[in-house]
Amino acid sequence: MSEIFSASVIISILTSGIRLATPYLYAAIGETFSQRSGVLNLGVEGQMLLGAFVSFYVVFKTENLWLGLLSAIIVGALMGLAMAFVTVNLQAEQGISGIGFYLFGLGMSDLLFKMLLGTVETVKGFSVVPIPILSKIPVIGEIFFNQNVLVYVAFLLVPIAWFVLNKTTLGLNIRSVGENPEAADSVGVSVVKIRYFTIILGGILSGVAGASMSIALLNVFQQNMTSGLGFIAVALVYFGAWRAWGVLAGALLFSMVQAIQLRIQIIDSISLSPDIAVMMPYILTIIVLVASVSRVRAPSALTKPFDRGE
């Protein structure tokens, strides 16, 4: 048991957790924006998969990482645009259209993979960039400042998202559209524009979430490689109670427990069935939420289409 508390083990668990948290952060921060404006996007996983494939393919062909990232952003934005049209203009039921977009992304990414690549390949992705000075700090430097660019950006997104949502007019407008679209509309905030903005932003961040896996953390593409990660990301938005810092806490908790269960499996003195170990992050996430007895309520207009004509 003492093995798990040694410094090197803790460092390795924390660095693992930071890496695992990265795609969740992108996707969940994006989802936070769209939910704050009143739109539930269950299609995150599909957007991630398409972003993952397209960025991987572009990097595979051009060896240009930034071009790859850009293509993930474009694909995510396009998926977001389609989602926005369907949920804002056509006022479609959000949860179900999200499932539709998920299936589309799941199938399409695999289809493109089969047609364009045909087999599992690897690319040279974003490599680790130690941050000068900071990375030399013992323990903390190794955990936080010895990662690749997309990991840094994911964590930088948290304060940025907090700032935008809480300290800017844009954020105020997003929140008011999510709470009371009629009132926002009456004071001249365009509900349609705001929702288009947040859904497309969500799509972009989901696309980058996929790219962070395929061209930064894993450097491969495999069919259905996200494996339910996008749905966990949506769940983390609820965990974080629609707040950027809450989402960060949720993503870190889930990922750290994931890293811990992997470590527990290889400790000889603990004999735990692997299936039970794999359950741990899921169970603990629920338990923590129960214990925290959060009383935060969802944006009032979440999942409700806005119809100006009424």
Partner 1 sequence: MKKNLLVILVLAFALLLSACGSAAAPAEEAAPAEEMPAEEIPAEPFKVAIIMPSSITDLAFSQSMYDALVAVQEEMGGESAMEIVYSEGMFVVDDAAAAIRDYASEGYDLIIAHGSQYGSSLQEIAPDFPTTSFAWGTTLNTFKDEGINNVFAYEANSQEGGYVNGVMAASLSKSGVIGVVGPIQAGDADLYVKGFVAGAKSVNPDVEVNVNWIGSFSDVALAAEAANTHIGAGADVLTGTAQMVPGAIGVAEENGALWFGTQASQTSLAEDIVVANQVYDWTVVLDEMLANIKNGVYGGEAYTITLANGGLVMDYNSAFDLPADVKAAADAAVEGIIDGSIEIPVE
Partner 2 sequence: MRSRMNALFDAMLPVFATLAALGVGMIMLLILRVSPLEAYGALWEGAFGSTNAIAETLVKATPLLLVGLGICIAFRANVINIGGEGQMIIGGILATQVGLTFTDAPGWLIIILAMFAGFLGGAIWGGIPGALKAYFNVNEILSTVMMNAIAVQLMNFLLRGPMIDPAQLEKASKIPQTARLAEAFRLPRLVPTRLHLGFLIALVLAILVYILLWRTTLGYRIRAVGQNPDASRYGGIRVRRRIVLALFLSGAFAGLAGAIQVYGVNYRMITDGSASGFTGAAGFNGIVAALFGQLHPIGTIPASIFFGALLVGANKMQRVVQIPSALITALNGLVVVFVVSSEIWRKKRQRQRLALARQAESEDDDVSPSAPELYPPAEEASES
Q: Which helix (H) or strand (E) holds 14?
A: helix 7-36
Q: Is 183 in the site for partner 2 (CB under 8 A)?
A: no
d(CA 299, CA 36) in angstroms, rounded, equals 6
Of 66-74, 153-161, 261-269, 295-303: span binding partner 1 (CB under 8 A): 261-269
Alpha helices in 37-168 (DSSP H): 44-62, 65-84, 94-112, 140-144, 149-167
Segment 84-123, which members bind partner 1 (CB under 8 A)?
A: 110, 113-114, 118-122
SS3 of the chain: helix, strand, coil, percent, to 5: 75, 5, 25
Q: Which does 23 bind (CB under 5 to 8 A by kind): partner 2, partner 1, none?
A: partner 1
For 170, the enclosing helix (H) or strand (E) is: helix 169-179
Binding mask of the shown chain, residues 194 to 223, with x at each position contacting partner 2 by CB under 8 A? -----------------------------x
Rule CB under 8 A: is residue 49 a binding residue for partner 2?
A: no
Residues within window 226-255 making contact with partner 1, judged by CB under 8 A: 226-229
Partner touching 213 among partner 1, partner 2, none, CB below 5 to 8 Å by kind: partner 1
- Are 186 and 57 spatial neighbours (Cβ–Cβ below 8 Å)? no
> Which residue in 61, 124, 193, 297 binds partner 2 (CB under 8 A)?
297
Q: Which is nearer to partner 1, 49 or 86 (CB)?
A: 49
Q: Does 268 help bind partner 2 (rule: CB under 8 A)?
A: no
Least distance to partner 1 from the beta carbon of 20, Å?
6
Residue 111 contacts partner 2 per CB under 8 A: yes
Closer residue to partner 2 (CB): 28 or 213: 28
Alpha carbons 277 and 4: distance in angstroms, whole number: 15
Q: Distance between CA 298 and CA 274 in Å, rounded?
A: 36
* Interface with partner 2 (CB under 8 A), residue from 32, 41, 97, 173: 97
Stretch that binds partner 2, among 84-92, 121-129, 158-166, 205-213 (CB under 8 A): 84-92
Q: Are 281 and 259 in contact (CB under 8 A)?
A: no
Binding site for partner 1 (CB under 8 A): 8-9, 11-13, 15-16, 19-20, 23, 110, 113-114, 118-122, 213, 217-220, 222-229, 258-259, 262-263, 265-266, 274-275, 278
